[in-house]
Amino acid sequence: MFANIPEVKLGIVAVSRDCFPIGLSQQRRRAIKEAYKGELYECPVTVENEKDMLDAVSDVKQAGCNALLVFLGNFGPETPETLIARNFDGPCMFAAAAEGDGDLINGRGDAYCGMLNCSYNLGMRRIPAYIPEYPVGTAEDIARMIEDFVPVARAIIGVKNLKIITFGPRPQDFFACNAPIKGLYELGVEIEENSELDLLVSYKAHKDDPRIDGVCADMAAELGVSGNRYPALLPRMAQFELTLLDWAEQHKGARKYVAFADKCWPAFPEQFGFEPCYVNSRLASKGIPVSCEVDIYGALSEYIGACVSGDAVTLLDINNSVPASLYEKAIKGKYDYVLTDTFMGFHCGNTPACKMCADRAVKYQLIQHRLLEPQDSEPDFTRGTLEGDIAPSEITFFRLQCDSEGKLRSYIAQGEVLDVPTGSFGGIGVFAIPEMGRFYRHVLIEKRFPHHGAVAFGHYGKALFSAFRFLGVKDVSYNQPKSLPYRTENPFA
């Protein structure tokens, strides 16, 4: 999957105000290099002035760095240190040294003070930067800050080099996927919009592709005997997988990374001969999200989640409430959630197999079968969904969206998939998020988010929040505790 996800190559540049000992910054820089366990390029240029800044930026670029830690080993030079971030083509983190060697005469750096003026200058120049929650620390502290920064940097680099390829238009009346693309350009994302017919032509051109047998074998191995219910369907799906992969390679153009937003109903299954869901799940497991129903911002959200987590993600409907009878039987007393904390996340069958329970299998899309095929008939072209319960796991439910007025907004909520059988169809799970009922009303409904949400399998709220803020998203909502009412929450309710 890492072919479509950036690799962060991090460098550290120390800065020093000219009336402070330069050796203090250099010594503290070396200590960070020793404390950090990952790869960290140590720039030999310590920046005191603008010429040093140009030399340092040139050096880290030649070293292949695509993300930087600008380190205030002492107070730091306000203009040169902020211009590093302007001249370097990649995300920058700013952090400062804590005093710690006991010498408060010649060994005092005043970086605690310098961070204030640094942030002031970044703001005046409108330069985005990653600043940790408490950006002052020892070498060991800053090493831990770097660990938090790396997934954020991965997401920023990915977004700035991303092309979203669509095959549409969106299904009729499907407003969940109707959003202005203006926000994409503000984020630096490129988009290529195509017709469903373009995709069909390319798919037909892949008939008898010699690679199909190899993809079929890989699918069969992934599904196992019990999951491969329609072996004769595999060549069609393999042909489609190769179509998408080739399209990505041939159409990424000047961009390095790709995500898809594809139309999957109502015409798709009848014309292609299958549902695309299982193929979509396989691409997601390779780090190439394919959102359903031409959901452009769903694809973007999934891609950000893949960068942050370094793992497979999915896109689900915030679909249906959990029946009270199921809650009483399987949740109450076993988990510390009330009924309104729970809901079912569902989609037809696009969740990667690696995130599902062992009994997942390729099945048919029940709703489409009702709509498109004769009543009581054997499923034909509505086959191709990967269905089963989503495996229990910590999760982060989130979305980045451009609203009808062109404003970027987002939400993040951490929770879990419960170990509770759903007894339903599709790729589905019982989700629990603390205070979901209030979050549902005062964020999802109040701020008019669509019903699709991206899911990362783990708690990644901290990194996602930082990534959204770095990208300039000012409205980042979350599931607030009872002690913190929402602005629109009725205090008398």
Span 118-175, pLDDT tens digits:
999 999 999 999 999 999 999 999 999 999 999 999 999 999 999 999 998 877 777 7
Query: Are the C-beta atoms of residues 12 and 69 closer than 8 Å to each other?
Result: yes
Q: Is the pLDDT of residue 105 over 90?
A: no
How many Cα atoms are found within 13 Å in the side-chain-facing hemisphere of 175?
Answer: 5
Look-up of token digits 């770097």: 146
Confidence bin at 349 (pLDDT 50/70/90)? very high
Q: Which residue has the tokens 């010594």?
A: 27
Question: With 60 as the cut, is the pLDDT of residue 224 above it?
Answer: yes
Band (pLDDT 50/70/90 cuts) for residue 304 is very high
pLDDT per residue over 413-436, tens digit each? 999 999 999 999 999 999 999 999
pLDDT band (50, 70, 90) for residue 2: low
- Residue 234's H or E segment, with its range, is helix 234-251
pTM equals: 0.95
SS3 of residue 83 by DSSP:
helix
Strand locations in 30-113 (E): 41-42, 67-72, 92-97
Q: How confident is the model over 248-276, as a mean pLDDT?
A: 94
Give the tens place of pLDDT for each residue, 366-389.
999 998 999 999 999 999 999 999
What is the tens place of the pLDDT at every residue in 330-344? 999 999 999 999 999
Q: What is the mean pLDDT of residues 239-247?
A: 98
d(CA 426, CA 361): 10
Q: Cβ neighbours of residue 99 under 8 Å, at least 6 residues apart?
A: 107, 108, 109, 112
Identity at 463, one-letter amino acid code: A
Comparison of pLDDT for 17 and 171, the residue scoring more: 17
| Cβ atoms 306, 155 nearer than 8 A | no
pLDDT band with cut points at 50, 70 and 90 for residue 103: confident
H or E segment to which residue 14 belongs: strand 10-15
Q: What are the DSSP calls for 398-461, one per residue?
A: EEEEE-TTS-EEEEEEEEEE-S-----SSEEEEEE-TTHHHHIIIIIITTT--SEEEEESS--H
Summarize the confidence of residues 355-360 as an average pLDDT.
96
> How many whole angstroms separate alpha carbon 133 and alpha carbon 118?
15
Place of tokens 């203009």: 79
Residues 29-48, mean pLDDT to the nearest whole number: 97
Domains and CATH numbers, the chain: 2-153 (3.40.50.10940), 161-478 (no CATH)
Answer whether residue 1 shows pLDDT above 60.
no
For range 449-458, the mean pLDDT: 96
Contact 403, 448 (CB under 8 A): yes
In whole angstroms, give the CA distance from residue 291 to residue 293.
7
Mean pLDDT of 238-248: 97
